[in-house]
Amino acid sequence: MGLNKCFCGNYLDWCFKFLCEEEKEENGNGQAAACDAGYIYRLEGSDFVNFNEGSAIAFQGAVLRGGIGFQASSPTDITISSPGLYKVTFYLNCQSRSIVGIQLVVNNTPQPVLPQYTYKNNAASQFIYGQGLIEITVPNTVLRILVLKDVTLDKTQQNEPKSVNASVLIKKVCQN
């Protein structure tokens, strides 16, 4: 698929159109595919941000399409409105030795974090990258990045521009 086929006028439009077109081609049914995708992020502040064990990472903003939801009033919760298989990738810029995992909340009941969705760094000042294929069977399931060992997120240093210190990228890859 060439760039000129997908470009819509700005990068985010191009990105999400590309994701939906890719899904349409994979489905092979000639119908427009539902595009459930989201990028949820947190920007650095002027000081380090600590998240204690048992808490969830709070995010600040999002770019969303389809059935992925995020509200600043509930900054730890990413809502997935329709069943299916989702690819989840996350990133944290930590200033502490930390452990986190992907947690689902189904019908207001937090589910245990499974080892295959648990990631850690081995020293302070290291990133944590995580990923997983998550099967959603109940509409309006909530996804969280749960802290299993304290997390300290990085801050903006002196004259550097603000940048992302935590993010989640989620995309539906197939229906149930």
Report pLDDT for 173.
94
Report pLDDT for 160.
86
Mean pLDDT per 10-residue segment, the chain (176 residues): 37 50 49 78 93 97 96 96 96 94 97 95 88 96 97 88 94 88
Report pLDDT for 23.
46
**Buried-exposed string 48-77: b where 16+ CB fall within 10 A, e elsewhere:** ebebeeeebbbbeebebbbbbbbeeeebbb
pTM recorded for the entire structure: 0.81
Report pLDDT for 126.
87
Residues 6+ apart with CB under 8 A from 37: 16, 19, 20, 64, 65, 66, 68, 170, 171, 172
CATH label, 35-174, candidates 2.60.120.40, 2.40.50.140, 2.120.10.30, 1.25.40.10: 2.60.120.40
Report pLDDT for 122.
86
Domain boundaries, the chain: 1-33, 35-174
